[in-house]
Protein backbone atom coordinates (compact mmCIF):
# COMPACT_ATOMS: atom_id res chain seq x y z
CA UNK A 1 0.00 0.00 0.00
CA UNK A 2 1.31 3.47 -0.93
CA UNK A 3 0.90 6.40 1.46
CA UNK A 4 -0.12 8.75 -1.32
CA UNK A 5 -0.70 11.71 1.05
CA UNK A 6 3.05 11.95 1.71
CA UNK A 7 3.58 12.74 -1.95
CA UNK A 8 1.97 16.14 -1.29
CA UNK A 9 2.04 18.50 1.67
CA UNK A 10 -1.54 19.28 2.64
CA UNK A 11 -0.69 21.52 5.62
CA UNK A 12 -1.81 24.61 3.70
CA UNK A 13 -5.11 23.02 2.71
CA UNK A 14 -7.05 25.06 5.24
CA UNK A 15 -9.58 27.87 5.30
CA UNK A 16 -7.72 31.16 5.58
CA UNK A 17 -9.48 32.10 8.80
CA UNK A 18 -7.79 29.17 10.52
CA UNK A 19 -4.48 30.96 10.04
CA UNK A 20 -5.80 34.42 10.92
CA UNK A 21 -7.24 32.96 14.15
CA UNK A 22 -3.96 31.14 14.80
CA UNK A 23 -2.05 34.40 14.44
CA UNK A 24 -4.58 36.03 16.76
CA UNK A 25 -4.21 33.29 19.36
CA UNK A 26 -0.46 33.78 19.18
CA UNK A 27 -0.76 37.55 19.60
CA UNK A 28 -2.99 37.09 22.64
CA UNK A 29 -0.67 34.67 24.41
CA UNK A 30 -2.99 31.69 23.71
CA UNK A 31 -0.76 29.55 21.51
CA UNK A 32 -0.37 26.96 24.28
CA UNK A 33 -3.95 27.12 25.55
CA UNK A 34 -5.28 23.55 25.50
CA UNK A 35 -8.65 23.03 23.86
CA UNK A 36 -10.86 20.19 22.67
CA UNK A 37 -12.61 19.97 19.30
CA UNK A 38 -15.19 17.40 18.18
CA UNK A 39 -15.65 16.38 14.54
CA UNK A 40 -19.20 15.09 14.11
CA UNK A 41 -22.19 15.26 11.77
CA UNK A 42 -25.79 16.33 12.21
CA UNK A 43 -27.85 14.23 9.79
CA UNK A 44 -27.56 11.02 7.77
CA UNK A 45 -27.53 11.28 3.96
CA UNK A 46 -30.61 10.07 2.08
CA UNK A 47 -32.59 9.98 5.32
CA UNK A 48 -30.82 6.72 6.15
CA UNK A 49 -30.53 4.98 9.47
CA UNK A 50 -26.73 5.14 9.85
CA UNK A 51 -23.51 6.27 8.20
CA UNK A 52 -20.26 4.35 7.67
CA UNK A 53 -17.10 5.93 9.07
CA UNK A 54 -14.30 6.19 6.51
CA UNK A 55 -11.20 8.29 5.87
CA UNK A 56 -9.55 7.76 9.25
CA UNK A 57 -6.31 6.52 7.70
CA UNK A 58 -5.93 9.53 5.41
CA UNK A 59 -6.73 11.88 8.30
CA UNK A 60 -4.02 10.21 10.40
CA UNK A 61 -1.48 10.37 7.58
CA UNK A 62 -2.25 14.07 7.07
CA UNK A 63 -1.73 14.85 10.76
CA UNK A 64 1.48 12.84 10.82
CA UNK A 65 2.88 14.92 7.95
CA UNK A 66 2.07 18.44 9.15
CA UNK A 67 4.86 20.92 8.44
CA UNK A 68 5.36 24.32 6.85
CA UNK A 69 7.87 24.83 4.06
CA UNK A 70 9.93 27.93 3.36
CA UNK A 71 7.55 28.72 0.50
CA UNK A 72 4.61 28.52 2.90
CA UNK A 73 6.28 30.98 5.27
CA UNK A 74 7.04 33.36 2.40
CA UNK A 75 3.42 33.18 1.29
CA UNK A 76 2.23 34.23 4.75
CA UNK A 77 4.87 36.97 4.93
CA UNK A 78 3.65 38.30 1.61
CA UNK A 79 0.12 38.74 2.94
CA UNK A 80 1.42 41.39 5.31
CA UNK A 81 -0.89 40.59 8.23
CA UNK A 82 1.06 37.93 10.11
CA UNK A 83 3.67 38.76 12.75
CA UNK A 84 7.27 37.64 12.31
CA UNK A 85 7.06 35.91 15.69
CA UNK A 86 4.12 33.88 14.45
CA UNK A 87 5.96 33.01 11.23
CA UNK A 88 8.94 31.77 13.27
CA UNK A 89 6.50 29.61 15.24
CA UNK A 90 5.22 28.10 11.98
CA UNK A 91 8.74 27.52 10.69
CA UNK A 92 9.48 25.45 13.82
CA UNK A 93 6.03 23.87 13.90
CA UNK A 94 5.72 20.41 15.44
CA UNK A 95 2.32 18.71 15.83
CA UNK A 96 1.75 17.79 19.48
CA UNK A 97 -1.98 17.13 19.81
CA UNK A 98 -3.78 14.12 21.27
CA UNK A 99 -6.29 12.60 18.85
CA UNK A 100 -8.99 9.99 19.23
CA UNK A 101 -11.03 8.56 16.34
CA UNK A 102 -13.73 6.04 15.54
CA UNK A 103 -12.20 3.16 13.51
CA UNK A 104 -12.99 3.04 9.82
CA UNK A 105 -15.91 0.84 8.88
CA UNK A 106 -17.87 1.56 12.07
CA UNK A 107 -21.57 2.45 11.70
CA UNK A 108 -21.91 5.95 13.15
CA UNK A 109 -24.76 8.28 14.06
CA UNK A 110 -25.43 12.02 14.33
CA UNK A 111 -23.90 14.13 17.11
CA UNK A 112 -21.34 11.59 18.30
CA UNK A 113 -17.68 12.61 17.87
CA UNK A 114 -16.00 10.78 15.00
CA UNK A 115 -12.73 12.44 15.97
CA UNK A 116 -11.62 14.37 19.06
CA UNK A 117 -8.61 16.66 18.88
CA UNK A 118 -7.01 17.92 22.10
CA UNK A 119 -4.08 20.27 21.97
CA UNK A 120 -2.81 23.84 21.68
CA UNK A 121 -5.43 26.17 20.24
CA UNK A 122 -3.38 27.06 17.16
CA UNK A 123 -2.79 23.44 16.20
CA UNK A 124 -6.26 22.12 16.95
CA UNK A 125 -7.81 25.00 14.99
CA UNK A 126 -5.71 24.84 11.83
CA UNK A 127 -6.47 21.18 11.02
CA UNK A 128 -10.24 21.75 10.80
CA UNK A 129 -10.69 21.98 7.03
CA UNK A 130 -8.54 19.05 6.00
CA UNK A 131 -9.98 16.74 8.64
CA UNK A 132 -13.52 17.67 7.64
CA UNK A 133 -13.02 17.23 3.92
CA UNK A 134 -11.26 13.90 4.47
CA UNK A 135 -13.87 12.38 6.79
CA UNK A 136 -16.85 14.04 5.09
CA UNK A 137 -15.98 12.74 1.64
CA UNK A 138 -15.06 9.16 2.39
CA UNK A 139 -17.83 8.70 4.95
CA UNK A 140 -20.34 10.02 2.42
CA UNK A 141 -19.19 7.61 -0.30
CA UNK A 142 -18.91 4.66 2.08
CA UNK A 143 -22.44 5.33 3.34
CA UNK A 144 -23.89 5.53 -0.17
CA UNK A 145 -21.93 2.49 -1.33
CA UNK A 146 -23.18 0.37 1.53
CA UNK A 147 -26.78 1.27 0.69
CA UNK A 148 -26.16 0.11 -2.87
CA UNK A 149 -24.40 -3.06 -1.73
CA UNK A 150 -27.28 -3.94 0.59
CA UNK A 151 -29.80 -3.30 -2.20
CA UNK A 152 -27.96 -5.85 -4.38
CA UNK A 153 -28.81 -8.61 -1.87
CA UNK A 154 -25.55 -10.49 -2.13
CA UNK A 155 -24.86 -9.78 -5.79
CA UNK A 156 -21.48 -8.18 -6.47
CA UNK A 157 -21.30 -4.40 -6.85
CA UNK A 158 -18.38 -2.81 -8.71
CA UNK A 159 -17.44 0.87 -8.40
CA UNK A 160 -17.37 2.34 -11.92
CA UNK A 161 -17.48 6.09 -11.28
CA UNK A 162 -14.00 7.59 -11.74
CA UNK A 163 -14.85 9.62 -14.83
CA UNK A 164 -17.77 11.29 -13.06
CA UNK A 165 -16.02 11.92 -9.74
CA UNK A 166 -15.46 15.47 -8.53
CA UNK A 167 -11.72 15.49 -9.12
CA UNK A 168 -8.95 12.94 -9.11
CA UNK A 169 -8.69 12.54 -5.34
CA UNK A 170 -12.43 11.93 -5.18
CA UNK A 171 -12.04 9.12 -7.69
CA UNK A 172 -9.09 7.53 -5.90
CA UNK A 173 -10.37 7.82 -2.32
CA UNK A 174 -13.98 7.30 -3.36
CA UNK A 175 -13.01 3.87 -4.67
CA UNK A 176 -11.33 3.17 -1.33
CA UNK A 177 -14.43 4.16 0.63
CA UNK A 178 -16.66 2.09 -1.65
CA UNK A 179 -14.46 -0.97 -1.13
CA UNK A 180 -14.59 -0.57 2.66
CA UNK A 181 -18.38 -0.47 2.43
CA UNK A 182 -18.67 -3.70 0.46
CA UNK A 183 -18.01 -3.10 -3.25
CA UNK A 184 -15.93 -5.93 -4.71
CA UNK A 185 -13.65 -3.78 -6.82
CA UNK A 186 -13.20 -0.62 -8.87
CA UNK A 187 -12.60 0.52 -12.42
CA UNK A 188 -10.00 2.97 -11.04
CA UNK A 189 -6.59 1.44 -11.76
CA UNK A 190 -4.60 3.80 -9.57
CA UNK A 191 -6.72 2.80 -6.55
CA UNK A 192 -5.55 -0.76 -7.13
CA UNK A 193 -1.95 0.48 -7.24
CA UNK A 194 -2.26 2.58 -4.08
CA UNK A 195 -4.60 0.46 -1.98
CA UNK A 196 -4.81 -3.01 -3.52
CA UNK A 197 -8.48 -2.66 -4.47
CA UNK A 198 -9.16 -5.15 -7.30
CA UNK A 199 -9.25 -3.25 -10.60
CA UNK A 200 -11.99 -4.59 -12.85
CA UNK A 201 -13.11 -3.90 -16.41
CA UNK A 202 -13.44 -5.32 -19.89
CA UNK A 203 -14.30 -3.14 -22.89
CA UNK A 204 -16.12 0.01 -23.96
CA UNK A 205 -18.46 0.48 -26.91
CA UNK A 206 -15.51 1.99 -28.79
CA UNK A 207 -13.85 -1.44 -28.84
CA UNK A 208 -16.84 -2.87 -30.68
CA UNK A 209 -17.01 0.10 -33.04
CA UNK A 210 -13.31 -0.22 -33.93
CA UNK A 211 -13.92 -3.48 -35.79
CA UNK A 212 -15.86 -4.13 -39.01
CA UNK A 213 -18.64 -5.74 -37.03
CA UNK A 214 -19.70 -6.83 -33.57
CA UNK A 215 -18.79 -10.46 -34.17
CA UNK A 216 -15.23 -9.53 -35.19
CA UNK A 217 -14.86 -7.35 -32.10
CA UNK A 218 -16.07 -10.11 -29.79
CA UNK A 219 -13.88 -12.70 -31.47
CA UNK A 220 -10.76 -10.53 -31.17
CA UNK A 221 -11.40 -9.92 -27.49
CA UNK A 222 -12.03 -13.58 -26.74
CA UNK A 223 -8.79 -14.54 -28.46
CA UNK A 224 -6.81 -12.06 -26.33
CA UNK A 225 -8.60 -12.80 -23.04
CA UNK A 226 -9.91 -16.37 -23.21
CA UNK A 227 -9.76 -16.81 -19.42
CA UNK A 228 -11.60 -13.60 -18.63
CA UNK A 229 -14.02 -13.02 -21.45
CA UNK A 230 -16.88 -10.64 -20.64
CA UNK A 231 -18.48 -9.02 -23.68
CA UNK A 232 -20.41 -5.74 -23.89
CA UNK A 233 -23.54 -6.67 -25.82
CA UNK A 234 -25.57 -3.45 -26.19
CA UNK A 235 -23.60 -1.44 -28.79
CA UNK A 236 -26.17 -2.22 -31.48
CA UNK A 237 -28.97 -4.48 -30.31
CA UNK A 238 -28.75 -6.71 -27.23
CA UNK A 239 -31.13 -9.46 -28.27
CA UNK A 240 -30.85 -9.38 -32.07
CA UNK A 241 -27.06 -9.13 -32.37
CA UNK A 242 -25.24 -8.75 -29.07
CA UNK A 243 -26.21 -12.01 -27.38
CA UNK A 244 -26.27 -14.06 -30.62
CA UNK A 245 -22.78 -12.84 -31.56
CA UNK A 246 -21.52 -13.49 -28.06
CA UNK A 247 -22.83 -17.06 -28.14
CA UNK A 248 -21.27 -17.59 -31.56
CA UNK A 249 -17.87 -16.47 -30.25
CA UNK A 250 -18.22 -18.63 -27.15
CA UNK A 251 -18.91 -21.61 -29.43
CA UNK A 252 -16.22 -20.90 -32.01
CA UNK A 253 -13.38 -19.46 -29.92
CA UNK A 254 -13.71 -20.44 -26.25
CA UNK A 255 -15.26 -23.90 -26.54
CA UNK A 256 -12.45 -25.32 -28.74
CA UNK A 257 -9.95 -24.06 -26.11
CA UNK A 258 -11.89 -25.76 -23.36
CA UNK A 259 -12.70 -22.35 -21.80
CA UNK A 260 -15.95 -20.94 -20.48
CA UNK A 261 -17.16 -17.35 -20.85
CA UNK A 262 -17.10 -15.07 -17.84
CA UNK A 263 -20.10 -12.96 -18.74
CA UNK A 264 -21.93 -10.38 -20.80
CA UNK A 265 -22.59 -6.77 -19.83
CA UNK A 266 -25.72 -4.75 -20.58
CA UNK A 267 -25.21 -0.99 -20.32
CA UNK A 268 -28.49 0.45 -21.61
CA UNK A 269 -32.16 -0.22 -22.14
CA UNK A 270 -34.61 -2.00 -19.86
CA UNK A 271 -32.10 -4.14 -18.03
CA UNK A 272 -34.79 -6.18 -16.27
CA UNK A 273 -36.44 -7.24 -19.52
CA UNK A 274 -33.17 -7.62 -21.43
CA UNK A 275 -31.51 -9.66 -18.67
CA UNK A 276 -34.43 -12.12 -18.56
CA UNK A 277 -34.31 -12.65 -22.31
CA UNK A 278 -30.51 -12.83 -22.37
CA UNK A 279 -30.52 -15.39 -19.56
CA UNK A 280 -32.91 -17.61 -21.50
CA UNK A 281 -30.80 -17.38 -24.67
CA UNK A 282 -27.55 -18.12 -22.85
CA UNK A 283 -29.03 -21.07 -20.96
CA UNK A 284 -30.48 -22.59 -24.12
CA UNK A 285 -27.09 -22.21 -25.82
CA UNK A 286 -25.42 -24.18 -23.03
CA UNK A 287 -23.98 -21.30 -21.01
CA UNK A 288 -25.93 -21.21 -17.74
CA UNK A 289 -22.69 -20.25 -15.97
CA UNK A 290 -22.21 -17.11 -18.07
CA UNK A 291 -22.88 -14.16 -15.75
CA UNK A 292 -24.91 -11.11 -16.65
CA UNK A 293 -23.53 -7.75 -15.54
CA UNK A 294 -25.67 -4.60 -15.55
CA UNK A 295 -24.51 -0.99 -15.54
CA UNK A 296 -25.90 2.45 -16.60
CA UNK A 297 -26.81 5.08 -13.99
CA UNK A 298 -27.76 2.64 -11.26
CA UNK A 299 -28.44 3.32 -7.59
CA UNK A 300 -29.91 1.42 -4.65
CA UNK A 301 -33.50 2.07 -5.67
CA UNK A 302 -33.10 0.95 -9.30
CA UNK A 303 -31.16 -2.12 -8.20
CA UNK A 304 -33.81 -3.00 -5.63
CA UNK A 305 -36.58 -2.62 -8.22
CA UNK A 306 -34.87 -4.70 -10.89
CA UNK A 307 -34.32 -7.53 -8.43
CA UNK A 308 -37.91 -7.39 -7.20
CA UNK A 309 -39.04 -7.57 -10.85
CA UNK A 310 -37.09 -10.78 -11.38
CA UNK A 311 -34.11 -9.42 -13.30
CA UNK A 312 -31.51 -12.09 -14.08
CA UNK A 313 -28.49 -10.01 -13.07
CA UNK A 314 -25.47 -11.44 -11.29
CA UNK A 315 -23.56 -8.24 -10.59
CA UNK A 316 -23.82 -4.49 -10.97
CA UNK A 317 -21.40 -1.79 -12.11
CA UNK A 318 -22.37 1.46 -10.42
CA UNK A 319 -20.82 4.76 -11.41
CA UNK A 320 -21.92 8.37 -11.11
CA UNK A 321 -24.65 7.92 -8.52
CA UNK A 322 -22.22 6.14 -6.20
CA UNK A 323 -19.02 8.15 -6.63
CA UNK A 324 -20.86 11.49 -6.29
CA UNK A 325 -23.52 10.25 -3.83
CA UNK A 326 -25.82 12.00 -6.28
CA UNK A 327 -29.06 11.77 -4.32
CA UNK A 328 -27.54 13.37 -1.19
CA UNK A 329 -24.14 14.73 -2.16
CA UNK A 330 -23.08 16.52 1.04
CA UNK A 331 -22.04 14.93 4.31
CA UNK A 332 -22.56 17.66 6.85
CA UNK A 333 -19.67 17.06 9.18
CA UNK A 334 -18.73 19.97 11.46
CA UNK A 335 -15.83 20.78 13.76
CA UNK A 336 -16.71 22.48 17.03
CA UNK A 337 -14.94 23.59 20.20
CA UNK A 338 -16.34 21.64 23.18
CA UNK A 339 -13.92 22.40 26.03
CA UNK A 340 -10.80 24.25 27.11
CA UNK A 341 -8.39 23.69 29.98
CA UNK A 342 -8.07 26.30 32.72
CA UNK A 343 -5.44 25.70 35.40
CA UNK A 344 -5.45 21.98 34.68
CA UNK A 345 -9.25 21.64 34.77
CA UNK A 346 -11.45 20.86 31.77
CA UNK A 347 -14.03 23.62 31.27
CA UNK A 348 -16.94 22.60 28.99
CA UNK A 349 -17.94 24.98 26.17
CA UNK A 350 -21.23 25.10 24.28
CA UNK A 351 -22.52 26.73 21.10
CA UNK A 352 -26.24 27.61 21.21
CA UNK A 353 -28.55 28.15 18.25
CA UNK A 354 -32.23 28.69 17.52
CA UNK A 355 -31.80 25.56 15.42
CA UNK A 356 -31.76 22.72 17.96
CA UNK A 357 -29.66 20.54 15.65
CA UNK A 358 -26.85 23.11 15.84
CA UNK A 359 -26.59 23.15 19.64
CA UNK A 360 -23.36 21.39 20.52
CA UNK A 361 -22.74 18.72 23.14
CA UNK A 362 -20.03 20.12 25.42
CA UNK A 363 -17.08 18.56 27.20
CA UNK A 364 -14.43 15.91 26.56
CA UNK A 365 -16.42 12.78 25.76
CA UNK A 366 -16.40 9.04 25.22
CA UNK A 367 -18.78 6.96 23.10
CA UNK A 368 -20.10 3.66 24.39
CA UNK A 369 -22.04 1.26 22.17
CA UNK A 370 -24.35 -1.05 24.08
CA UNK A 371 -24.83 -4.53 22.57
CA UNK A 372 -27.57 -6.97 23.50
CA UNK A 373 -25.89 -10.16 24.70
CA UNK A 374 -28.57 -12.47 23.27
CA UNK A 375 -28.85 -11.12 19.73
CA UNK A 376 -25.48 -9.39 19.43
CA UNK A 377 -27.29 -6.35 18.04
CA UNK A 378 -26.53 -2.75 18.99
CA UNK A 379 -29.11 -1.29 21.35
CA UNK A 380 -28.00 2.36 21.53
CA UNK A 381 -24.94 4.60 21.82
CA UNK A 382 -24.29 6.62 24.96
CA UNK A 383 -22.11 9.71 25.10
CA UNK A 384 -20.44 10.11 28.48
CA UNK A 385 -17.77 12.28 30.02
CA UNK A 386 -14.32 10.98 29.13
CA UNK A 387 -13.70 9.53 32.58
CA UNK A 388 -17.07 7.82 33.03
CA UNK A 389 -17.37 4.04 33.02
CA UNK A 390 -20.50 2.15 32.06
CA UNK A 391 -20.67 -0.98 34.22
CA UNK A 392 -22.32 -3.59 32.02
CA UNK A 393 -22.63 -6.04 34.92
CA UNK A 394 -25.47 -3.90 36.28
CA UNK A 395 -28.72 -2.55 34.79
CA UNK A 396 -28.18 0.81 33.07
CA UNK A 397 -30.84 3.42 32.35
CA UNK A 398 -30.73 5.27 29.04
CA UNK A 399 -32.97 8.17 28.08
CA UNK A 400 -33.69 10.45 25.13
CA UNK A 401 -31.69 13.66 25.76
CA UNK A 402 -34.40 15.87 24.21
CA UNK A 403 -37.47 13.98 25.45
CA UNK A 404 -36.22 12.84 28.82
CA UNK A 405 -39.39 10.97 29.78
CA UNK A 406 -38.46 8.36 27.16
CA UNK A 407 -36.42 5.97 29.30
CA UNK A 408 -35.31 2.37 29.16
CA UNK A 409 -33.36 0.18 31.55
CA UNK A 410 -30.89 -2.04 29.70
CA UNK A 411 -29.85 -5.41 31.12
CA UNK A 412 -27.78 -8.33 29.84
CA UNK A 413 -25.66 -6.12 27.64
CA UNK A 414 -22.03 -5.40 26.78
CA UNK A 415 -20.70 -1.84 26.66
CA UNK A 416 -17.82 -1.13 24.26
CA UNK A 417 -15.87 2.08 23.81
CA UNK A 418 -15.81 3.26 20.19
CA UNK A 419 -13.04 5.86 20.22
CA UNK A 420 -9.41 4.74 19.93
CA UNK A 421 -6.37 6.89 20.57
CA UNK A 422 -4.43 7.58 17.39
CA UNK A 423 -2.01 10.33 18.53
CA UNK A 424 -0.39 10.85 21.92
CA UNK A 425 1.17 14.34 22.14
CA UNK A 426 1.70 14.34 18.40
CA UNK A 427 3.12 10.83 18.13
CA UNK A 428 1.10 8.32 16.16
CA UNK A 429 0.29 5.40 18.48
CA UNK A 430 -2.27 3.58 16.34
CA UNK A 431 -1.46 0.56 14.21
CA UNK A 432 -3.24 1.25 10.94
CA UNK A 433 -5.20 -1.84 9.86
CA UNK A 434 -4.92 -2.96 6.26
CA UNK A 435 -7.81 -2.36 3.88
CA UNK A 436 -9.02 -5.96 3.90
CA UNK A 437 -9.19 -5.90 7.70
CA UNK A 438 -11.19 -2.66 7.61
CA UNK A 439 -13.56 -4.12 5.02
CA UNK A 440 -14.18 -7.26 7.12
CA UNK A 441 -14.67 -5.18 10.24
CA UNK A 442 -17.20 -2.97 8.42
CA UNK A 443 -19.29 -5.97 7.35
CA UNK A 444 -19.20 -7.40 10.87
CA UNK A 445 -20.23 -4.13 12.48
CA UNK A 446 -23.07 -3.45 10.05
CA UNK A 447 -24.37 -6.92 10.87
CA UNK A 448 -24.84 -5.72 14.46
CA UNK A 449 -27.33 -3.06 13.31
CA UNK A 450 -31.00 -4.07 13.38
CA UNK A 451 -32.67 -4.49 9.98
CA UNK A 452 -35.23 -1.88 10.98
CA UNK A 453 -32.43 0.70 11.20
CA UNK A 454 -31.17 -0.36 7.76
CA UNK A 455 -34.43 0.43 5.94
CA UNK A 456 -34.06 2.87 3.05
CA UNK A 457 -37.35 4.60 3.82
CA UNK A 458 -38.37 5.67 7.32
CA UNK A 459 -35.68 3.71 9.16
CA UNK A 460 -36.10 3.11 12.86
CA UNK A 461 -34.25 5.79 14.82
CA UNK A 462 -31.13 4.53 16.52
CA UNK A 463 -30.68 6.44 19.76
CA UNK A 464 -27.58 8.34 20.72
CA UNK A 465 -28.18 9.21 24.37
CA UNK A 466 -26.27 11.20 26.96
CA UNK A 467 -25.20 9.94 30.34
CA UNK A 468 -26.97 11.65 33.25
CA UNK A 469 -23.77 13.46 34.17
CA UNK A 470 -23.19 14.78 30.64
CA UNK A 471 -26.85 15.76 30.28
CA UNK A 472 -26.66 17.80 33.49
CA UNK A 473 -23.55 19.64 32.22
CA UNK A 474 -25.20 20.43 28.89
CA UNK A 475 -28.51 21.46 30.43
CA UNK A 476 -26.71 23.70 32.92
CA UNK A 477 -24.81 25.49 30.15
CA UNK A 478 -28.01 25.90 28.12
CA UNK A 479 -29.71 27.56 31.08
CA UNK A 480 -26.66 29.70 31.81
CA UNK A 481 -26.24 31.11 28.32
CA UNK A 482 -29.91 31.28 27.30
CA UNK A 483 -30.47 33.62 30.28
CA UNK A 484 -28.23 36.20 28.65
CA UNK A 485 -24.94 35.31 30.31
CA UNK A 486 -23.13 35.52 26.97
CA UNK A 487 -23.98 39.24 26.76
* Alpha-helix residue ranges (DSSP H) falling in 80-127: 84-91, 121-126
- Shared domain check, 232 and 338: no
Percent of the chain at pLDDT exceeding 70: 98
407: how many CB neighbours lie within 10 A of its CB? 11
Mean pLDDT computed over 431-459: 97
| Domain ranges, residue 78 | 4-141+329-485
One domain for residues 303 and 350: no
Clarify whether residues 110 and 222 are in a common domain: no
CA atoms of 50 and 53, how far apart (whole Å): 10
If asked whether residues 411 and 308 sit together in one domain, one would say: no
338 and 309, same domain (yes or no) = no
Domain boundary among 313, 343, 361: 313
Is the pLDDT confidence value at 483 over 80?
no
Q: Is the pLDDT of residue 338 over 50?
A: yes
Are 416 and 468 contained in the same domain?
Answer: yes
**What does DSSP assign to residue 167?**
S
Is 80 exceeded by the pLDDT of residue 484?
A: no
Are both 269 and 135 inside the same structural domain? no
The answer to whether residues 335 and 463 belong to one domain is: yes
- The domain that holds 279 is classified in CATH as 3.20.20.70
CATH of the domain at 62: 3.20.140.10
Both 257 and 132 in one domain: the answer is no
Would you state the pLDDT for residue 93?
95
Q: Residue range 276-299: average pLDDT? A: 97
Tell me, yes or no, whether 15 lies in a domain. yes
Kindly report the average pLDDT of the chain as a whole number: 95
Asked whether 294 and 306 are in contact (CB, 8 A), the reply is yes
Whether 191 maps to a domain, the answer reads no
pTM: predicted TM-score of the whole model, two decimal places:
0.96
Any domain includes 152: no
* Total domains, the chain: 2
Q: Tens digit of pLDDT for each residue in 413-434?
A: 999 999 999 999 999 999 999 9
Closest CA to 107 of 49, 57, 150, 60: 49
* Residue 39 shares a structural domain with residue 96: yes
**Pairing relationship of beta strands 378-385 and 464-466 according to DSSP bridges:** parallel
461 secondary structure, DSSP code: P
Q: Is pLDDT of 63 > 90?
A: yes
Which of these three, 260, 284, 313, is where a domain ends?
Answer: 313
E-strand ranges in 80-146 read 98-101, 107-108, 115-120
DSSP secondary structure letter of residue 449? S
Domain check: are 354 and 281 in the same one? no
- Give me the pLDDT at residue 6, please: 55
- Contact call for residues 38 and 365 (beta carbons, < 8 A): yes
Amino acid sequence: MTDWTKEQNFTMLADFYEFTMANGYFANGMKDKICYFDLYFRSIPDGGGFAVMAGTQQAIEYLDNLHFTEDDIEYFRGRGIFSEEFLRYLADFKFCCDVWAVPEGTPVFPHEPLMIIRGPAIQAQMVETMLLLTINHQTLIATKSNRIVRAAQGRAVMEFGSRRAHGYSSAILGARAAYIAGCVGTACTISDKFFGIPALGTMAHSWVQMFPGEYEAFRAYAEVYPNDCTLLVDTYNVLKSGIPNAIKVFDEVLAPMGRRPKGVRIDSGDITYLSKKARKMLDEAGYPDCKIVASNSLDEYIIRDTISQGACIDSFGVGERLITAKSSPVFGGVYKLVAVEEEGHIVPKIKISENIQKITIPDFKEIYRLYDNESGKAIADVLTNHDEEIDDTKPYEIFDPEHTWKRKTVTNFTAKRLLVRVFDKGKMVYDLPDLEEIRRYCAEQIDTIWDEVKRFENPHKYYVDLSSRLWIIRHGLLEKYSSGYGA
